Amino acid sequence: MSDKRNITVTVNGNTYEREVDTRTTLVDFLRHDLELTGTHVGCEHGVCGACTVLVDGKSVRSCLMLAVQADEQSILTVEGLALGGQLNILQQCFQDHHSLQCGFCTSGMLMTLTEFLRDHPEPTEQEVQEVLTGNLCRCTGYLPIISATLDAARKMREGSI
């Protein structure tokens, strides 16, 4: 039943060569083959956004992508955000604004917002609200995530001046 392929992927700057079943999803590959368990599986049907990672800079639901489709591509996961173990600006703003409770949706939120803030350095509150509609959170009611994002955008702009 199993059909295998060899793939080479770069994750958070490290290159991995692995043999995978063709039906293995990218998220299962990251979590179980590479043991990068920071990316979470919330719904396995592409709605909740918990498994969001960046593939060649673009946000992807890693539960809806096969590992073989990521061959020769570069992936950024939540484990690649902190710099030398220190929280980055967005992560720090999440802590400052109490933007996470159980923490399970957080990795997906961070990855969605990492792409968003890269492309929208001066977002409006409404834009932040809209980009977050692709990520479900049952704990926080989203408000502290929105305020953390706006705060992070401000701090990133200040930092880049």
Partner 1 sequence: MNKKWVGASIKRKEDPAFLKGEGQYLDDIHMLGMLHAAFTRSPHAHAKILSIDKSKAMAVPGVKAVFLYRDLPDIVRQQTLPLLVPHPSIIKTKLPYALVNEEACYVGEPIACVVAENRYIAEDAAQLVEVEYVVLDVANDCLDALESSTHCAHLDMSNNIAAKFQINVGDTDAVFKTAPQVISERFFQHRGGPFFMECRGAIASYDKGADAYTLHVSSQGSHRIKRCMLELFDLSDDQLRVVAPDVGGGFGPKGSYYPEYANVAVAAKVLGCAVKWIEDRRENFLTTHQERDQYWDVELAVNQDAKILGLRGRLVHDNGAYVPWGIVVPWISATTVPGPYVIENFKLDVFSMYTNKIQVTSVRGAGRPQAVFAMERLMDRVAQTLGMDPAEVRRRNFIQPEQMPYNVGIIFRDGRPVTYDSGDYPACQAAALARADYLGFKARQAKAREAGKYLGLGMANAVEATGLGPYEGATVKISTTGKITVYTGAVPQGQSHKTTLAQVAADALNADPKDIQVITGDTALIGLGIGTFAARTAVTAGSSVHLAATDVAQKIKAYGAAMLSCAPEQVSINDGYVVLNSDPQQKKSFREIAVRSVGMPGFSMANGLAPGLETTSYFTPDRSTYSNGTHVVELEVDIHTGSVEILRYTVAHDCGKLINPMVVDGQIVGGIAHGIGNALLEQMVFDDQAQPVSTNFGEYLLPLSTNMPKVDMVHLETPSPLNPLGVKGAGEGGTIPAIAAIISAVENALSPFDVRISHTPISPQDLVELLGEHALGETTL
- Note the residues at the interface with partner 1 (CB under 8 A): 1, 21, 23-24, 31-32, 35-45, 47-48, 50, 77-79, 81-82, 85, 87, 91, 94-96, 98, 100-107, 110, 128-130, 132-133, 135-146
Residue matched to tokens 């990068």: 36
3-state helix, strand, coil in the chain (%, to 5): 40, 20, 40
What distance in Å separates the CA atoms of residue 23 and residue 81, rounded to the nearest whole number? 28
110 DSSP assignment: H
Q: Which is nearer to partner 1, 70 or 111 (CB)?
A: 111
CB of 17 to partner 1, least distance (A): 20
Q: CB of 132: closest distance to partner 1 in angstroms? A: 4
The 10 Å Cβ neighbour count of residue 74 is 15
Cβ closer to partner 1: 21 or 72?
Answer: 21
